[in-house]
Amino acid sequence: MKYNPKIHNRQSIRLKGYDYTQPGYYFITICTQDRRCLFGEISNGKMNLNDAGNTVQKEWMALPNRFPNIRLHEFVIMPDHFHAIIQITVPPSGQPQGIAPTGIVPAIGDMVGAFKSITTVAYIRGVKTKEWTPFRKRLWERNYWEHIIRDERAFQNISIYIKRNPIKWEEKKREKYNK
């Protein structure tokens, strides 16, 4: 279908005028396409990652190698989504070895985009070689949700939310089936 701005008008969910390259803390959520449960199962309030979930975790933990000006904080991989706190720090002085200077400071969207791309390629490889569950069109939903963390209290509340996410998942599942 040809692009039609009247039909295909997507509004940005980002804070208008905010510089997403500036140092700070960001809470992000990325969902699988069609909310497919691809990364493991929750049992007794604990997320048990499958091979695909372990790959997602490995690639998340490697993200600071690609973006030296970030720190990773609390995160959880759920069966069909991913929550994390990521911190953009002051860029390190000098250029990392083996990386061509660009003068461009990456934004949160660049980091999330790289993560989604890397994990999609790895997941496709798993589908082809390890019989992982295939996905339709894309692994991740087109967009992602983010929240700028503005103070220590919000940071603590979001960290607790992330840690408790597997427990809340089970509680919601029980509520759904006990109705």
Q: What is the predicted pLDDT for the residue at 7? A: 56
In 65-172 the beta strands, taken as DSSP E runs, fall at: 70-77, 81-88, 145-149
**Hey, what are 152's tokens?**
């220590």
The matching CATH number, chosen from 3.30.70.1290, 3.30.1180.20, 3.40.50.300, 3.40.47.10, for 24-177 is 3.30.70.1290
Q: What is the predicted pLDDT for the residue at 18? A: 78
Q: What is the predicted pLDDT for the residue at 4? A: 59
Cα Rg for the chain, rounded, in angstroms?
18
pTM for this one? 0.83
Beta bridge partners of 83: 29, 76
How wide is the angle at C-alpha 75 spanned by C-alphas 168 and 28, nearest 5°? 90
Binned average pLDDT, 10 residues per bin, the chain of 179 residues: 55 69 94 96 95 98 94 97 94 55 76 96 97 94 93 97 93 70
Beta bridge partners of 87: 25, 71
Q: What is the predicted pLDDT for the residue at 16? A: 74
Please state, in angstroms and rounded to a whole number, the distance separating the CA atoms of residues 98 and 4.
Answer: 42
Q: Are 36 and 163 in contact (CB under 8 A)?
A: no
**Hey, what are 44's tokens?**
């007794």
Instruction: Give me the helix-helix angle, 108-130 and 51-66, nearest 10°.
Output: 140
The 10 Å Cβ neighbour count of residue 157 is 13
Residues 6+ away with beta carbon under 8 Å from 161: 83
